[in-house]
Each structure stands twice: as structure tokens, then as C-alpha cells.
């Protein structure tokens, strides 16, 4: 038998053996985009040990066994999306606590705060929210220079937050709004409820820390949002304790997106090393020097001034819509 014939025969035999094997998951009857220029479309995908095991079309159906089978009903399937810039802990907080990103007037603030009080148990803190973010970004666009920033007052929310201490912040974290309960807890006398500068920073530091279960619930809600939009990998910049949350989620089988973690400050990176969250890359005995396939490390985020979206980044030239703030 000639060598080429023997090779072709062996390939056919091996392919047949692969088709007969048991896989963990079979996705069938779909319109599957593979990303392969030569074979861009497929009808089924078989997965084994968290890896794509085989791909094919209906003219060559999968003949092996599958522990789980999902009928795609001719729906489109594509590789998962990657979100390259996520503050996962903050996203979970916005989803389960309060989201004020699109709030820029009294009516919107009152409605959103009221909805939040109806959803959260009595005694729960309502914090952050980042009001005015979308409006501020639009002010930097053409036609947005005549818009004005919204500054709330505690009398807008005191009557609807009798059972919830509130300390929400503007998108740039330079201004906060506290209700009567929060002011009493903090020992601050303020007629307007508006806190700024060091007073705000001190107040934020005194808010009781969230329980681990609360952090876990927020991350589960954020992962739910990821699944909704097909996001299967994220590059996250969150506080160090978020890693403990990811570990727990992985143990529970609830970590449905792969995480590449980036500590956002040098001091946080040092804390990660001290707690053993970062493995010694110089030790060749470590099989996964940058984490594992679900939780990995390798990047660092830091900055020395601020960010452009909040006009807190400093430049030698003025911002086009503000000729005073943040110049060197």
C-alpha cells in the first residue's frame, strides 16, 4: 500500500473514532459561525473537557454520545464576546443597588430612589449610583454646551427614604447627596445633604462594608447580564476582595464568564501578593503562573490624575467645553 493511501485511510479511521466518543455537550441543528475562513459555517459543535472537540455539518452528523444535547432550532450561534474593560464589582452594585447613570433631574432621581427603596430591605444602604454620567458625556459633544449639570437636594428624597440611609454620588465622585438617616449616622449637619471634597471621602469610608454574601449576589447578577449579551470573557478592574468572590463562584459552578483580573492600584497589587492571590511567576513548578483557565492575571491598571469622561484627567490645553478645569 502506498504511503499516501495509508495516511488517508488512517485519517478516516481516526475521524470515525472521534465521532464515536462521548462528549460533554452537543450543540446541534444550528447556524454556527466558526470564524474559519475556509469553513465559516457549521450545523453542530461537540464539546469535551471544556474544549471544542469536533465541528461539522448535517451532511456529516455527529454519531457519538453526548451527556447533554442542546437543539439550537436553526438559531445563530457565534463565539462568545470579550469585554475588554469592565469594573465588575461596580457593575454588580449598579444592577442590584442603584443605577443613576441616566439621571439628571429631580423627577428621575425621585423615581429611581423610590424604586430602589421598594426593592431593597429596610435598613439597606443606597450608595453611589453616579448620577449625571450620560448627561455629562453628551455635554462634551457637539450641541451639548448649553446643558447644565444637575445638583440635587436632600428634600427630594428624605420623605421616601425613611427606612434606608442614602449616600449617592455624582458620576465624577466629587459630589455626594446624603439623606437624613445617612447624615445622622455620619454625624454631619447639612441642610442640603450635599457633601464635597474631604467630607465626602470621609463619609464614604464610614459606610458599613458589604457582606460577602452581598458581594456574591451582585456578581451573580452581573454574570447574568453577561450571559444575556453573550459575554464569555472579561478584563476586570475591581478591588482585591473580588477575587475571593470569583473563587467562590467557581467552586459553585456559577462562574459563567472567564475573568482576566487587573488590580487597579499598585497598593492593591501588593495586597494580592501578600494574600497569595498572585502566584510566583518565577517558580517553574507552578503549572498556571498567571492563574487558570477561568481566573487569570497578568495586567495592571493605574493612573496618576483622573479620567477624561469625568474631566478629571489633566492636560496642558483646556477641554473644548471647559476652559478652566484641570489644567496643569
Domain boundaries, the chain: 3-79, 88-205, 212-296
Query: What are the grid coordinates assigned to 165, written together?
Result: 440611609
**Which whole-number Å values give the CA distances from 279 to 52, 288, 298, 299, in the listed order?**
28, 8, 11, 14
Query: What are the grid coordinates assigned to 60, written together?
Result: 456529516
- The confidence band for 179, taking pLDDT boundaries of 50, 70 and 90, is very high
pLDDT reading at 133 higher than 60 = yes
Q: Report the pLDDT averaged over residues 156-166.
A: 98
- The confidence band for 262, taking pLDDT boundaries of 50, 70 and 90, is confident
Q: Look at residue 34 in the predicted model and tell me its pLDDT.
A: 94
Beta carbons of 120 and 87 less than 8 angstroms apart:
no
Q: What are phi and psi of 195, to 5 degrees?
A: -120, 140
Q: What are phi and psi of 231, to 5 degrees?
A: -90, 120
What's the full length of the chain, in residues?
Answer: 328
Beta carbons of 254 and 245 less than 8 angstroms apart:
no
d(CA 328, CA 316): 6
To the nearest whole percent, how much of the chain has pLDDT over 90? 62
β-strands 23-28, 44-48 pairing: antiparallel
**Which whole-number Å values give the CA distances from 294 to 43, 50, 220, 249, 290, in the listed order?**
27, 11, 15, 11, 11
Task: Give the H or E element holding residue 167.
Answer: strand 166-170
Q: Look at residue 317 in the predicted model and tell me its pLDDT.
A: 79
Selected from 1.10.260.40, 2.30.40.10, 3.40.50.1820, 3.40.630.30, the CATH number assigned to the domain covering 3-79 reads 2.30.40.10
pLDDT reading at 69 higher than 90 = yes
Least confident of 47-51, 156-160, 213-217, 310-314: 310-314
Residues paired with 10 in a beta bridge: none
Taking the complete model, does pTM exceed 0.75, yes or no? yes
Span 188-203, pLDDT tens digits: 999 999 999 999 999 9
Classify the C-alpha dihedral 231-232-235-237 as positive or negative.
Answer: positive
pLDDT reading at 32 higher than 70 = yes
Closest CA to 219 of 87, 110, 327: 87
Task: Give the H or E element holding residue 33.
Answer: strand 31-33
Q: What's domain 88-205's architecture?
A: Roll (3.10)
Span 70-117, pLDDT tens digits: 999 999 999 999 999 999 999 999 999 999 999 999 999 999 999 999
DSSP symbol at 291: B
Closest CA to 290 of 304, 303, 277: 277
Amino acid at each position: 500500500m502506498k504511503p499516501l493511501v495509508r495516511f488517508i485511510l488512517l485519517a478516516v479511521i481516526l475521524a470515525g473514532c472521534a465521532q464515536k466518543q462521548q462528549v460533554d455537550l452537543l450543540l446541534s441543528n444550528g447556524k454556527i459561525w466558526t470564524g474559519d475562513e475556509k469553513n465559516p459555517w457549521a450545523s453542530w459543535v461537540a464539546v469535551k473537557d471544556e474544549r471544542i472537540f469536533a465541528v461539522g455539518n448535517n451532511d456529516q452528523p455527529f454519531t457519538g454520545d453526548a451527556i447533554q444535547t442542546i437543539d439550537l432550532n436553526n438559531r445563530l450561534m457565534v463565539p462568545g464576546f470579550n469585554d475588554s474593560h469592565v469594573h465588575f464589582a461596580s457593575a454588580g452594585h449598579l444592577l442590584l443597588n442603584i443605577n443613576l447613570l441616566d439621571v439628571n433631574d429631580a423627577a428621575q432621581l425621585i423615581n429611581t430612589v423610590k424604586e430602589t427603596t421598594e426593592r431593597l430591605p429596610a435598613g439597606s444602604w443606597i450608595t453611589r449610583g453616579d448620577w449625571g454620567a450620560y448627561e455629562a458625556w453628551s455635554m462634551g459633544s457637539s450641541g451639548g454646551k448649553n446643558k447644565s449639570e444637575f445638583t440635587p437636594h436632600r428634600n427630594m428624597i428624605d420623605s421616601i427614604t425613611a427606612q434606608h440611609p442614602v449616600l449617592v454620588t455624582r458620576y465624577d465622585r466629587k459630589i455626594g447627596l446624603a439623606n437624613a438617616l445617612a447624615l445622622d449616622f455620619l454625624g454631619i449637619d447639612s441642610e442640603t445633604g450635599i457633601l464635597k471634597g474631604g467630607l465626602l471621602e470621609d463619609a464614604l469610608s464610614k459606610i458599613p462594608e458589604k457582606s460577602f454574601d452581598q458581594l456574591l449576589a451582585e456578581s451573580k447578577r452581573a454574570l447574568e447580564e453577561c450571559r444575556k449579551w453573550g459575554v464569555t470573557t472579561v478584563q476586570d478592574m475591581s478591588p482585591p476582595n473580588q477575587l475571593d468572590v470569583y473563587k467562590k463562584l467557581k467552586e459553585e459552578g456559577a462562574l459563567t464568564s472567564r475573568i482576566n483580573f487587573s488590580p487597579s492600584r499598585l497598593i492593591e497589587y501588593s495586597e494580592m501578593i501578600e494574600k497569595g492571590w498572585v502566584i510566583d511567576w518565577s517558580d517553574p513548578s507552578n503549572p498556571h503562573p498567571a492563574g487558570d483557565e477561568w481566573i487569570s492575571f497578568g495586567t495592571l491598571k493605574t493612573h496618576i490624575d483622573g479620567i477624561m469622561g469625568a474631566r478629571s484627567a489633566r492636560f496642558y490645553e483646556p477641554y473644548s467645553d471647559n476652559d478652566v478645569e484641570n489644567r496643569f
